[in-house]
Amino acid sequence: MTQATLQCKLEGHTSDINCCAWSPITWSTLTSCSGDRTLRVWDISSEPPKTLSVVPASKYYVNACAYNPSGDLLATASSGDEGIVKLWSTASWTVVGTFTPHNDSARWCTFSPDGNLLATASDDTNVCVFEVGSLKQLSTLTRNSERVNCCLFAPAGWLLVTGSSSGELMLFNVYSTELLKRQMGIHNMGVTALALDPTSLLTAEGGGAVGGAFQQFKIASAGNDSVVKLWTVKCNGNVPNSKSVSLSLDGSLEGHSAAVYSCSYHPTRRLLASGSADKSVLLWNLDTKEKVQKLMAHSRYVIHVSFSPNGNHLVSASNDKTISLWRMKSSGMEECDDEVVASSSNSNALAGMEQQSLLSDVSWSMSDVIGWLEFVTKRQSTVEQSHPDDLRAVERLAVAIQQVSAVADKHGAGTEDLKCPITCELMRDPVLAADGYSYERTAITAWFSKGRRTSPVTNLPLTNTLLLPNRALKTIIEKNKRQTGT
């Protein structure tokens, strides 16, 4: 069972803390935005966590912030008549782009999975979509009748889900602006937040092409009615239209006594966190739809919750002007280099190996790794029955170890082993694809955005387009750079 324990409080903001965003590259970096008109950048790896930067961000409340997938840009959405949206360079914390598409406060901002698009939601009832590279507006989605509080991109990138104060969910094609699906009465007092289930992407069958087909993905919606609802979105066929796109309710999570303002999925486990005006954070088992833990650390409303990209931490932010940093720990699980990995104490899954982090031993030969992978495959049913929550972590670890050991087997491999198969350049942000190979994130997302559903290396069909950060390989690349002075 996964449990959260309070590690510490982050203090420094002088007004409501409205949103937090984790860096997708440096997982120990957290950025928060506040009614005090600033951004604060935190380093949670230090003891105690420290403030790296305080950035004056707006003349008004800063309502939301979001990193792009490569982590070099951060978007902010602010209150005020113009609803200003800004793009910030995270290297210098200077503004590199400004948008004023709305005539009222901007409530939310989010990037597409490939980072090429930015969507903003506003009190003016509109959602605007921009091309990040050109800083030009691509489209305006105008079918909402009340203010839009939240939005998220589907994995394919062309589909956007919006939630509004009218209690409706809407699904749009951001390129054609066509309204593909409208679900009324989702939350009878308004939709406050949306979240995408990353674990549902492991079985998705879809590409990133405009109008490309996909099988399904799962989302959660939170509302002022104190309920979190779970949904499956499906699209059948290659041409998206109102008949091919469906939205079905999977269940409801009821346990809060006041409005739910935020929800977040754990990146690898069947776990969801929700934050509420009742001052609590609840953790939910998504398989049983039961509450597994109640966290109380705030004196006022909990406005935001989010898990770190590696799942080791959870933050809750409140209008009590504080952020609570929670450490996530599961029985039989260990943390190592910002990765959650299975411990040898997990039954017989690791066949009596010494109790240590597998990723810490990069001296394994490839035959050792292959033997271990074969063992895990044979014992998969046993692991699933004994430790169903750990299976996905085991599967992820198997791929990661295969990648790391392929490099480590060469005893400090040359730079050729650390280059992206697509660009033939040293990787900066390596990610694992379904074919078991690592690629530069921008290169493989560009590959998918052209409608390709095959491996760039083997040319065989891919089962999905899920990309997982390869932190272990990135560590090796950075070590290589230090050793070679490149």
* Element (DSSP H or E) covering residue 250: strand 245-254
pLDDT at 245: 86
- Structure confidence by residue, pLDDT tens digits, 361-411: 334 444 444 444 444 444 443 333 434 444 444 444 444 444 444 444 444
In the 8-state DSSP scheme, what is residue 462?
A: P
| Four-residue CA torsion sign, 432, 435, 440, 446 | negative
Amino acid at 346: N
| Both structure tokens of 279 | 């001052």
The confidence band for 286, taking pLDDT boundaries of 50, 70 and 90, is: very high
- Structure confidence by residue, pLDDT tens digits, 213-270: 456 899 999 999 999 999 999 876 555 666 778 899 999 999 999 999 999 999 988 9
CB 325 within 8 A of CB 49: yes
Backbone angles phi, psi at 242, to 5 degrees: -65, -20
483 burial type by CB count under 10 A (0-12 exposed, 13-18 middle, 19+ buried): exposed
| Four-residue CA torsion sign, 407, 411, 413, 418 | positive
Spatial distance between the Cα atoms of 75 and 407, rounded to a whole number of angstroms: 36
| Both structure tokens of 58 | 């707006």
In 50-178, where do the E strands start and end?
Answer: 50-56, 62-67, 73-78, 85-89, 94-99, 106-111, 117-122, 127-131, 136-141, 148-153, 159-164, 169-173
Backbone angles phi, psi at 309, to 5 degrees: -60, -30
Backbone angles phi, psi at 450, to 5 degrees: -90, 10
Helix residue ranges per DSSP H, 409-451: 441-449
pLDDT at 134: 92
* pLDDT greater at residue 459 or residue 238: 459
Distance separating the N- and C-terminal Cα atoms of the chain: 44
